[in-house]
Amino acid sequence: MALMQNYARLPVSFTHGEGIWLYGDDGKRYLDALSGIAVCGLGHSHPAVTRAIQEQAGRLLHTSNLYQIPLQEALGDDLCRVSGLDAAFFCNSGAEANEAAIKLARLHGHGRGIAEPQVLVFTQSFHGRTLAALSATGNLKIQEGFSPLVPGFLRVPYGDLAAAQAVVSANPSLAAILVEPIQGEGGVRPAPAGFLAGLRDICDRQGLLLMLDEVQTGIGRTGKFFAYQHESGFLPDVLNLAKGLGNGVPIGAVLARKPVAALFSPGRHGTTFGGSPIVCAAARAVLRTMEEDRLPDRASHLGTLLATVLHNRLRNHPEVEEIRGQGLMVGVVLRRKPDALVERALAAGLLLNVTAERVIRLLPPLIIGEDEIRKIVDILAGLLES
């Protein structure tokens, strides 16, 4: 097989998908409780997305950013309207969104006369696999073998506001804080109450940019369009998106407030593919469907149901330590690393993921129904009992 073996893939491939179901080449159908890792929030083959892609594909795929792209402008307007931010830059992935944000942080720092601007990041964070993004990531396994890492990151424990304050006070070279509102790969860890607001306060007092990595939590997943919208009166300076934005077409975005966005003057950053007409058409269809079908509300309502049913079934299970998350981003924390749980779930017709060794991660499509939520828990409870 002429593929680099950087993935230990499961022994299945899918021929097609519809809604929350994926159909295997083995003739079986699988309930998708992972959504291609928080990507297919509208499920598979959503008619609005399919139609948008088909229509746009027949018209124009790509022109490059040397020309005006009205669909990109319209998508930027849509995202700024729902986020409260002022301007967008489009790229192709979550890692690229974080790279762009880190470049904005450095421009911001240099603009304030800092020779070597630093970014504060957190333990157990995940920001992607490109060099700066993996240097920002708080996981030694992901960094191992890739030194020299990109300098310019200071790290404190996730959730520890006092530690963040202390490091910011002691380091005048800090220009920004980069943080996930709920750590995804790190084990579905929600920020403790008051943490984001506290970071906002630190940034305001010290002139730092607060940059949220909502690559996984964004686009309705947690029960609001963006996870920070659970905090009242809160706005980040920079917001990084990808995964759910295109429902499967590769698109990432960085949104920013006006003065920050203005740091990217002509020539400062770029991308050949980013924000092409084809991906912007798909993403606009995603946002329109999210709003028309009130999918963030649905994620909130069904997330509560999922958490409740999980609690009822698994609360007293000897292997279950905690059930946590928000909306349809849920982690079941086990006491020990489970034995072949993902493989056993696959055999039982359920697609899920285990992250941070012992956290079962559930990220079902936001279009899922109540019966299917119960079905996920039924299968999972059966697997944990066997």
Residue 126 falls in the annotated catalytic set:
yes
Closest CB to ligand PLP among 127 and 313?
127
Alpha carbon separation from 58 to 54, 65, 174, 250 (Å, rounded): 6, 20, 48, 19
Least distance to ligand PLP, CB of residue 222, Å: 12
| Residue 280 is a binding residue for ligand PLP (CB under 6 A) | no
Write the DSSP symbol of residue 40. Answer: -
Q: Which of 95, 107, 295, 307 forms a contact with ligand PLP (CB under 6 A)?
A: 95
The residue with tokens 């299917």 is: 372
Question: CB 254 → ligand PLP: shortest distance, Å?
Answer: 12
372 counts as binding ligand PLP under rule CB under 6 A:
no
User: Residue 301: what residue type?
Assistant: H
Residues 239-258 close enough to bind ligand PLP by CB under 6 A:
242-243
Q: Which two tokens stand for residue 267?
A: 């020539």
Among 138, 184, 331, 365, interactor with ligand PLP by CB under 6 A: 184
- Residue 325 contacts ligand PLP per CB under 6 A: no
* Residue type, position 68, single letter: Q
Integer Cα distance of 58 and 9 in angstroms: 34
User: Of 28-36, 66-74, 124-132, 367-375, which segment contacts ligand PLP by CB under 6 A?
Assistant: 124-132
Instruction: Decide: helix, strand or coil at residue 291.
Output: helix
Active-site residue, from 89, 90, 195, 243: 243
Q: Minimum distance between the CB of residue 273 and ligand PLP, rounded to whole angstroms?
A: 13
Cα 108 → chain centroid: 24
The answer to the question of residue 72 lying near ligand PLP (CB under 6 A) is no
In angstroms, the CA 356 to CA 337 distance is 9
Torsion of CA 180, 185, 190, 191, to 10 degrees: -40
CB 103 within 8 A of CB 263: no
Q: Which residue type does 377 have? A: V
Report DSSP letters for 161-213, one per residue.
HHHHHHHHHH-TTEEEEEE-SEESTTTSEEPPTTHHHHHHHHHHHHT-EEEEE
Q: Which is nearer to ligand PLP, 174 or 363 (CB)?
A: 363
Q: Does 35 bind ligand PLP (CB under 6 A)?
A: no
224 is catalytic: no
- 28 an active-site residue? no
Does the footprint of ligand PLP cover residue 215 (CB under 6 A)? yes
Taking CB under 6 A as the criterion, the residue among 213, 303, 364, 367 binding ligand PLP is 213
Q: How far is CA 309 from the centre of its chain?
A: 25
Nearest to 300 by CA among 366, 244, 362, 360: 366
Does 36 bind ligand PLP (CB under 6 A)? Our answer is no
Active-site residue (options: 32, 90, 122, 213): 213
Phi and psi based region of residue 137 (left: phi greater than 0; alpha: psi -120 to 50; beta: remaining): beta
* Catalytic choice (126, 153, 226, 264): 126
Number of residues that bind ligand PLP (CB under 6 A): 15
* 127 is an interface residue for ligand PLP by CB under 6 A: yes
Per CB under 6 A, the list member of 17, 41, 109, 128 interacting with ligand PLP is 128
- Exactly one of 43, 76, 94, 218 binds ligand PLP (CB under 6 A); that residue is 94
- The single residue among 72, 83, 93, 276 that binds ligand PLP, judged by CB under 6 A, is 93
Distance CA 167, CA 164 (A): 5
Residues of this chain that interact with ligand PLP (CB under 6 A) are 93-95, 98, 126-128, 180, 184-185, 213, 215-216, 242-243
List the catalytic residues.
126, 213, 243
